[in-house]
């Protein structure tokens, strides 16, 4: 146990320290930092959010997806990651550790207004990727609200991340997880363990779509709220997936242009993974 004492962010102490960091997470600020221009500029080919949406669209529409249930691991306060998947899977579960994030998602799903971000341009962009007119965004919004069955608490550091009765016995057919695992893990070993934990929610042969940060050591989750991140490289991502029982189908990398580096983090790139559970 002594080896855990070197750093407050190692081992179980580390998981507790990470959870403490998240007490000050500010959904509205986080959305402002990451999901508005220049990072979400739909007029630009090289903006990061359109890149992510294109990766997800392609992954969900290649024809190798089957089943009914899609689970989004660590949704945060965002919805973009299930806008393509809601057309492929008849049931979507959103999950997050933080009640403030689950609240933010509920506000949109119940259409109460007071949302911290207008998702319309995202819905319009995904409609365009699907070859529909942008005005079809209202149909897509309705579809998403209809397909999302629940918003559940999750803890990726538990060997059983969701409540036992949350999923059918067979498990989910597909998982998507964006910027969650590396930003809630104290170190690479914890990141790899978390990948294994969420894998237990997935049926054998089911797909995992993973989006995450490369070379990132921190990000701001609100004014002055600095959260440590496990800095990953592509090789580490591949090794962690293999060790956790996944077969890699594809890895794509986006390198941030200078103007995407807006001072809210030190991320250098973003990876997109499509993998299959062994």
Q: Which residues are annotated as a binding site for S-adenosyl-L-methionine?
A: 30, 35, 74-75, 80, 96, 101, 155-156
Tokens 């016995």 label which residue? 169
Q: Are 197 and 157 in contact (CB under 8 A)?
A: yes
- Phi and psi at residue 10, to the nearest 5°: -105, 150
Instruction: List the structure tokens of 62.
Output: 């290649």
Q: Are 221 and 26 in contact (CB under 8 A)?
A: yes
Q: Name the binding residues.
A: 30, 35, 74-75, 80, 96, 101, 155-156
Integer Cα distance of 265 and 140 in angstroms: 32
The number of beta carbons lying within 10 Å of the beta carbon of residue 249 is 15
HEC secondary structure over 176-204: EEECCHHHHCCCHHHHHHHHHHHHCCEEE
Cβ-in-10-Å burial (0-12, 13-18, 19+) of 107 comes to middle
Instruction: List the structure tokens of 160.
Output: 């059983």
Cβ-in-10-Å burial (0-12, 13-18, 19+) of 17 comes to middle
Closest CA to 41 of 217, 270, 257: 257
């Amino acid at each position: 146990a002594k080896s855990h004492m070197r750093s407050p962010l190692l081992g179980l102490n580390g998981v507790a320290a990470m959870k403490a960091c998240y007490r000050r997470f500010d959904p509205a600020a986080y959305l402002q930092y990451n999901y508005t221009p220049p990072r979400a500029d739909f007029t630009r080919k090289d903006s990061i959010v359109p890149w992510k949406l294109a990766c997800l669209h392609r992954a969900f529409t290649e024809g190798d997806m089957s089943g009914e249930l899609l689970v989004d691991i660590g949704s945060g306060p965002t919805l973009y990651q299930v806008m393509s998947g809601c057309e492929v899977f008849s049931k979507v579960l959103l999950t997050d550790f933080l009640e403030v994030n689950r609240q933010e998602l509920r506000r949109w799903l119940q259409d109460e207004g007071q949302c911290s971000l207008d998702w319309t341009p995202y819905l319009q962009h995904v409609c365009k990727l699907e070859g529909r007119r942008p005005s079809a965004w209202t149909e897509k919004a309705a579809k998403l609200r209809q397909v999302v069955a629940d918003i559940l608490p999750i803890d990726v550091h538990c060997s059983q991340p969701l409540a036992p009765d949350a999923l059918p016995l067979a498990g989910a057919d597909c998982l998507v997880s964006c910027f969650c695992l590396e930003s809630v893990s104290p170190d690479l070993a914890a990141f790899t363990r978390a990948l294994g934990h969420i894998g237990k929610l997935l049926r054998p042969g089911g797909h995992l779509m993973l989006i995450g940060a490369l070379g990132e050591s921190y990000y701001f989750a609100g004014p002055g709220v600095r959260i440590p991140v496990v800095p990953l490289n592509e090789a580490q991502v591949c090794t962690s997936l293999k060790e956790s029982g996944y077969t890699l189908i594809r890895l794509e990398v986006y390198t941030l242009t200078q103007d995407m580096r807006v001072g809210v983090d030190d991320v250098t790139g973003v990876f997109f993974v499509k993998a299959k559970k062994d």
